[in-house]
Each structure stands twice: as structure tokens, then as C-alpha cells.
Amino acid sequence: MKKLLINCLLLSVTGILHAQDYDGFYQSQVNDQKKVEAEFLKTVDFNSFKQHLKTLTKEPHVAGSPANERVKDYMMETMQKAGWDVEVYPYDVYMSKDPGESVVELVLPIRKPLNQQEYILEEDPFSADPNLLKGWNAYSGSGDVTAEVVYANYGTKADFELLKEMGIDIEGKIVLARYGGNFRGYKAKFAQEYGAAGLLIFTDPKDSGFTRGLVYPEGLFYNESAIQRGSLLTEDFTGDPLTPFDPALPLDGDTDVKRLDPEETNLHKIPVTPIPYGSAREILEHMKGKPVPPSWQGGLPYTYRLEGGENLKVRVKVDQPRDFVRVHNVVGTLKGSERPDEWIILGCHYDAWGHGATDPNSGTAMLLSLSETLGQMENKPKRSILIGHWDAEEHGVIGSTEWVEQMKEELEAKAVAYINLDAAVSGRNFGAASSPTLKKLIIESSKEITFPDSAKTVFEIWAGDKEEPSIGNLGGGSDHIAFYMHVGVPSLNGGTGGPTLYHTNYDTFHFYEKFVDPTFKMGAAVEQLMGLISLRLANAEVIPYDVARYGKDLKLHFENAENQVKGYKSDFAGFTKTQMALEKLLDLGQKYEAALKSKMESGDLSPEVKDDLNTKLLGLEKSFIDPKGMYFGSWYRSLYASTDPFSGYASWMLPGIMYEIEQKETERLAEWDERYSAAISDLNAKIEELNNIL
């Protein structure tokens, strides 16, 4: 997800370095750091990204396939040639590596098999690859059912509740639902809970199709054969479904890992498969029940109806065996020259549902280019920089989670930051989501990078007419989850977005070259930005966390939470204990900021004091890691942020409280006031220690 800048578009490297904050650096060191950054920016090879992307995406490479092994080998070779120490971490994961056998067909009023795979397109030679698979949902249940049909809109919790209110019986029926609104696994979870016999999911043309504009290959929207693949995994933890809290180490390895019996898990039982909207049309046109609520109407030229009636029957067969599959993480290390046991980690998964040009391998290609650039530099980083290429993310964020569980104690002691770069160069629209302490760092660094085909910086394009660009909160769906929400490593997601044929067989190099970034300029731009962030984290004398941002952000989050509680309990007095701790946090954060700035200007910190400061800074985020975890899943231990357990993708800030709000409960609010005030008080004590040292 690095932006590619070619030389003719760059101002001179020294010319684009503006006066700004270099937090954590002595004033006397700033010029030296600027020289390091100038060397880095100049060293970026503006052709590298395209070449890596072309190689990575030449064949489909689902996790567990021989093709994915070839991608692994290419990444290892590239990083080793660039001078990195490379280690492979194998795991045996309980999963499916292909769709097995599946059938979708009309039975009544006519017999007709329905299409389950993208058309071969003359314009896109990659679409003819014989190793491309039909549409499938990993972790579907297996079964062969023929039944009537119920339409469930997006298949959200609210949609199923409304169907029940309207008197629609789902028991024994096949549910037809649109993609969108929540994680696909929750569509399956809710359908099964309401008694459905099976589930079909499609991307409606109203969301991405002919009603939005021209379809692929002429345009960038889904055509009638395009299918979104994806995992359905919805355990109350992330990672391999048989080894919560523990790494799924190889079965033939030296360490014996206790695994659950598959029957002890919550894996789905009903058959689920995705279909294109061309096939959904064949079902919807025969439905005869009551019209749907207006907001449920999609883009196909029929009145969408709640039920198909007894004269419409559909068969869904899925036979998707699961077994132990060997997957591999590839982790390269550029050892720090002064503080090798403090780690800056960047990562992106490399497995894909098809060719994976945008998702994920635009991020992979950028990271390979970054490893080459950093490897060539004369000035090596003071802290270690690690680049992780994670496997089996598409099956449920598995590879990165297993690595975090395996390396948990080291990460707690050594990890400065995790920067996630999944699908990081997928267009020309820059965006980011971050934990509080890294927000200032990405903003300041973005002021140094020229936006391709522009005289403006990334910051200027990103911020627009605002003083500060919008930075989102970290949610679910990618490899930062275990780092941030399980272990408490400050994390950042960043990169560019744009046109997408998400999880279809059309996410190819041809699609990328025609619609995503025809000039291939964005890869190096994102590389430059993420490289600058990494070098500032690696070289600062004191880890450049924005400690004061904790108080500012938490104040807003608690105001929002209290207002939501008052929406259903008007006499709610607020989180009074937490608010008292917050007031202190705001004051302590400002004092730390001022004290550190003074010390950085005078340059009089002893090596012992610096070591003490950095060690204590690494512990700040851990104040929000609660061993008891969340009531919706104890694996999720961060009190600060979590995946929304009802949608799977959205970010929940203050997840303990948000879980109560979602259910309109009040009984445990006092408990959460205690737990949050304790966490913030613990953070306050740590910042007080920092202030005393300074």
C-alpha cells in the first residue's frame, strides 16, 4: 500500500523535507535524521513495485495451495537477497483449502443449474487460468438441501429480527442475502440460529454492478458473473478454530499443542455458498411473496419479495471437507544497530482467493520493495525492523494470529508498533486508522511525501481543507487484530483505496493496470510514507508515541458512550470514576509532552534514563489489556478497541461498554466503570513515572 513516485514527479529530496516535529529526537540529531530520510527517499526504486506485483499475481494462490508455496519462496528469496534475516514459521491449521463440491440449482418451477464462477473474458487473459476456483465460502457447513426461499436483505441481526416481526418463517428454508452490512460469517450465524437450512449470498448490482456504472471488463463494477468469496469463521476468538490462545504449531513438531475437537467449536453446520447476481436474478424473478420494505429493494429489475412460496424451490449442495493444512508465515528482520530488542513490525498477508492483485498483494509487493530499499541503505536502523508476510488471512486472520500467540511474551516486551498493509496500494485515495499514540506520527510523515501527479504532499491531499486529516479507528477484518486487541501493541492501518473487484476472480494484474493505478505510481509513494514512519520509530532516541493523545481521544469516546447510554436510560449519571481518572490523564499527558520536549531540546538524557523511558513507554498500551477480556469473547482483551462482534468488521471503541449499549443493558455498567477507571489509573501511574524520570 505504498505510493509510487517516479523521479520526475519528485521535487528534489532535500526540497520536500519541511520543518516539522521530530518527536523523540534530540534537536542536535534532527539534521542527521533528515539525511537518513533523504537517502531512503532517493533509494526507492520506482519500477520495483510493478515487477513484484506482476510476479506475485501471475497465478491464483489460495492458502494451502502449491501456488501459494511458490509465492512464499519468492518472498523469501527477495528478502534474503536484500540482506534480511528470514525465518519461516509453519502451522497446521484446521481449514479447507478448496471449495470441494458445490451445486446451486433451481428445482421448481423449472430445473436449471445456476452459474457459480466468473466468465472467461477475452480482455483479461488471467480470467482463463485453469486453476481459478468457483465461488466458495471457507468454513461452510456441508449438506445437500432443497427448500423454499426467504430473502433476508443483508442478513444482519436487525434484518433477521425484522423478518421475525413480520411473521416470516425461516425454519427449514434457504436464505438469500446480499453482501454488505456485516461480515458474511454473521449472515451464516444468524441464518443458522433462525433455523435456515442453507444460505446463498450475492453482491447486489445496487451495491456494485450495472446500476453503479459500467461493469468489468469495460468498467470497474461487478458483472453478472462476479462472485465475492470469503471466510465464514465466527468463533469468539480470532485464528485457528482449534487452538484459541495457543499457536497451531505443526502436528509433527517438537511441541505438543492441545487442540479442540471440531465438535467443540462453533463452526457452521448449514451449507453456505456465494453466487453472482446473475444467478440471484434467476431466483428473485420467480419469488411471489409480499414485497420487501423499500430499503431492502436491490438493483435487479424485479420487485424483491420476502418469500418465494411453495412453487419456488432451490437446491444448495456443499461438500467442503476440512482437515489440517500446513501454512507458513515469512518474517524478515533487519537487525537494529543500537536497540535490536525493540521491534517495529510491518505486515501484510500474501494468500488470496484468486490472483489477489489489489487484495492483498499490492501490499505484499510494496513491502518487498521496501525491504530492498532498506536493505540497500548505508545507515541501518537503530531499532530492528521486521516485515511479516502472513498466510491464511483470508480464512480468518489466521497466520498473523498464530504468530502473535507464539511470540506473545516477546511482543509484549519488544514490539514498538505494528503497521498493517493489507491491500495497501489499491487506488489513489489515501486513508489510515490508528491507535492513539501513532496518529501524530503518520500525519507528520505524510507531510514529507509528494502525492503522485501532483505538486501537493500526501498530507495536503489527505487532509483537504481540514487542519488535520481524518484518521479512523481500528476495526476487524485484518492482521492488526491479534497485535492490538489481544496483546496491546500500538497499531496502524494505512494505504490507498479505490476501485475493487473484491475477492472475485477478476482481481488480476489486468484489472489493476487498467483501473486501479495504470501508471503504477502509488506503490512507491506508499512505500516512502511507511518507510519514513518506520525509520522515525526506529531511530528516535525516545519512542515517539503521542502520549497526550490518549486523554484527548478517550474523552471523546466516553462522551459518545455516555450519550448512547442516556439514549435508553435517561437518568444515567455517567462513568463517574472513569471521568475522574480521565481528567488526571489529560493533565499528565500534557506534562509529559512538555517535559520530553524540553529534554529533547537540551539533549541531556543519560543512556540509563533513555533505556528506562523506552521500556516504560512500551508498557503504556498494556494498561488496556485486561486478562478477563470481553464478555463476548475473552480472547479479545483490549478495553480500548475491538472488532464489533455483531458485524465483524466495524470498530468498537470501549468494547466492554459498547457490548452493553448494543443490548441496551445497564446491569454491568458500574462494573465497566470500575474496570475502565482501573485501566486509566494504571496508565496514569505509568505516565507519572515517565514524568518523574524526566
- Interacting residues of 392 by C-beta distance below 8 A, sequence separation 6+: 63, 64, 91, 93, 95, 325, 327, 349, 351, 398, 399
pLDDT at 347 over 80: yes
* 428-464 as b/e: b if 16+ CB within 10 A: bebbbbbbbbbbbbbbbbbbbbbbbeeeebbbbbbbe
Are 411 and 404 in contact, with CB atoms under 8 Å apart? yes
Give percent of the chain above pLDDT 90.
95
Q: How far apart are CA 2 and CA 446, in angstroms?
A: 12
pLDDT in tens, 95-124: 999 999 999 999 999 999 999 999 999 999
Amino acid identity at 323: D
All structural domains of the chain: 7-91+326-539 (3.40.630.10), 101-232+268-321 (3.50.30.30), 549-693 (1.20.930.40)
Are 330 and 72 in contact, with CB atoms under 8 Å apart? yes
Q: What is the mean pLDDT of residues 457-471?
A: 95
Q: How far apart are CA 569 and CA 577, in angstroms?
A: 19
Cis geometry, peptide bond prior to residue 627 (ω within 30 degrees of 0): no
Q: What is the mean pLDDT of residues 460-471?
A: 95
Burial of 665 (0-12, 13-18, 19+ CB in 10 A): middle
Q: What is the mean pLDDT of the chain?
A: 95
11-25, 319-333, 340-354: least confidently modelled range: 11-25
pLDDT at 137 over 90: yes
Helix H or strand E encompassing 147: strand 143-147
pLDDT in tens, 243-296: 999 999 999 999 999 999 999 999 999 999 999 999 999 999 999 999 999 999
Q: What is the largest CA-CA distance in the chain?
A: 83
Q: How far is CA 190 from CA 175, 197, 566, in A?
A: 10, 12, 29
1 — pLDDT class (breaks 50, 70, 90): very low
- Per-residue pLDDT at 476: 80
- Interacting residues of 61 by C-beta distance below 8 A, sequence separation 6+: 67, 68, 70, 71, 350, 351, 352, 355, 356
Q: How far apart are CA 133 and CA 210, in angstroms?
A: 24
Q: How far apart are CA 690 and CA 591, in angstroms?
A: 10
Amino acid identity at 534: S
pLDDT at 15 over 50: no
Cis geometry, peptide bond prior to residue 381 (ω within 30 degrees of 0): no
Are 451 and 469 in contact, with CB atoms under 8 Å apart? no
Q: How far apart are CA 326 and CA 391, in angstroms?
A: 10
- Per-residue pLDDT at 267: 97
Give 641's Cβ-side CA count (13 Å radius). Answer: 28
- Per-residue pLDDT at 657: 98
DSSP string, 89-137: EEEEEEE-SS--EEEEEEEESS-EE---SPPPBTTBGGGG-TT-----E
pLDDT at 3 over 80: no
Give 52's Cβ-side CA count (13 Å radius). Answer: 33
pLDDT at 52 over 60: yes
Reported pTM = 0.95
* Phi, psi for residue 342 in degrees, rounded to 5: -120, 125
- Per-residue pLDDT at 19: 52
- Per-residue pLDDT at 649: 78
8 — pLDDT class (breaks 50, 70, 90): very low
Are 233 and 395 in contact, with CB atoms under 8 Å apart? yes
- Per-residue pLDDT at 2: 35
